[in-house]
Amino acid sequence: MPETTPPKDESQLIDLYEHPGHLLRRAQQISVSIFHDETGGIITPVQYAILRMLSNHPGIDQVSLSGLVAIDTSTGATVCARLEEKGLLVREVIPHNRRQRALRITQAGEALLEELIPGLQRLRKRILAPLDEAEQEQFMRLLDKLVHENNPQSRAPLARLRDQDCQED
């Protein structure tokens, strides 16, 4: 196969900081560090995501919840078990499907989410602080587009909630 030479203006990606994946990984490291800083390390970002989504969808099953948070189901089950141990959620066997668990956030879980709001507001401000207001809006739009357009490439793609996935209260 003949070797092709990229156009002059195309990067050779020799500089590590020209790699979008590397910069995204660094941004994730920074985000997690600030998350722990602002929340006191009470829970992890993934645990927060599980609780936040569960608060919005009480009675949802573990598999559907994992899809909404875009994590694999085995990680979702492990995270839910840890949150249950902390008394932040309860898992109940679904009568018509004994292999799945319906989840509900506890009062302690709801109280924790409320307690975390000021820290999470500071987290957002700290992460976006290097950008002016217009850049912040543009960055969030572009980041959202990047994530959603590349969702099919994920090993744990974001799932959409279907009405039958959430039990009635």
Domains defined for the chain, CATH in brackets: 18-150 (1.10.10.10)
First to last CA, the chain: 62
- Higher confidence at residue 149 or residue 155? 149
State the pLDDT at residue 86: 97
- Rounded Cα distance, 11 and 116, in Å: 42
Estimate the crossing angle of helix 107-128 against helix 133-149, to 10 degrees. 120
What percentage of the chain exceeds 70 in pLDDT? 87
pLDDT at 168 > cutoff 70: no
Give whole-number Cα distances, 84 to 35, 63, 79, 115, in Å: 21, 16, 9, 18
58-99 pLDDT tens trace: 999 999 999 999 999 999 999 999 999 999 999 988 788 777
State the pLDDT at residue 165: 44
Q: Which residues make beta-bridge pairs with 105?
A: 89
